[in-house]
Amino acid sequence: MYPISVVLKMIHIKMFYSDQLETKHGTVIVEGPVTPEQIASYTLHEDLKAFRPAHLQHKALIDIASLEDGRIIVMRQGTLVVGYVTFLYPDPLERWAEDKIDNMIELGAIEVIPSYRGSGAGKKLLQVSFMGPEMEDYLVITTEYYWHWDLKGSGLSVWDYRKMMERMMKSVGFESFATDDPEITSHPANCLMARIGKRVGTDTMERFDRLRFRSRFMY
């Protein structure tokens, strides 16, 4: 049973946490949520270009950190950012934003430069992301599409990459959810995952269920 929820105006608390990770390239700091000023003072590694060139992604991260609902966790060596994860409200153009659920945010992107992959970098970014007790107030979703995955760089098949991604997400409490969203159902490797915070109530979950299924007769 989920707790009964009485959701008023969501106050987005951002408690700062920091940890370290030993890698073959030395010790890196994993910290956040960082402020816009902090992320602006850092340099993004040129290989952080999965979504757009690094200098444009740097600006996008500053913009997200400036949002009331935006959260950025970074992995850095000195002032050089070698990985990050973003959280914010779902894109207004996607179905997940249609109900405007106050306490539902989306893990929008997680990216680590190739030379740091395989060191537990992604898992550590997620661990730091959920250190704050305020994260138990959120339903956090993530939509995984195979065409965003670095299959060439990783050398993994679509299915091996999905298994790797699922293990990483499950390490912080994410689980898979069914949906009739056409983008997700367009390929069997795509998936919807969510982490249900301990204080997320029935109202939020019922609204999430309505977003997941528009054509219940199909299931």
- Verdict on whether the full-model pTM lies above 0.85: yes
Sequential pLDDT tens for the chain (219 residues): 555 444 457 899 999 999 999 999 999 999 999 999 999 999 999 999 988 999 999 999 999 999 999 999 999 999 999 999 999 999 999 999 999 999 999 999 999 999 998 889 999 999 999 999 999 999 999 999 998 888 888 888 999 999 999 999 999 999 999 999 999 999 999 999 999 999 999 999 999 999 999 876 444
Q: Which domains does the chain have, with CATH numbers?
A: 17-218 (3.40.630.30)
End-to-end Cα, the chain, rounded Å? 23
Query: Rounded to an integer, what is the distance from CA 78 to the centroid of its chain?
Result: 23
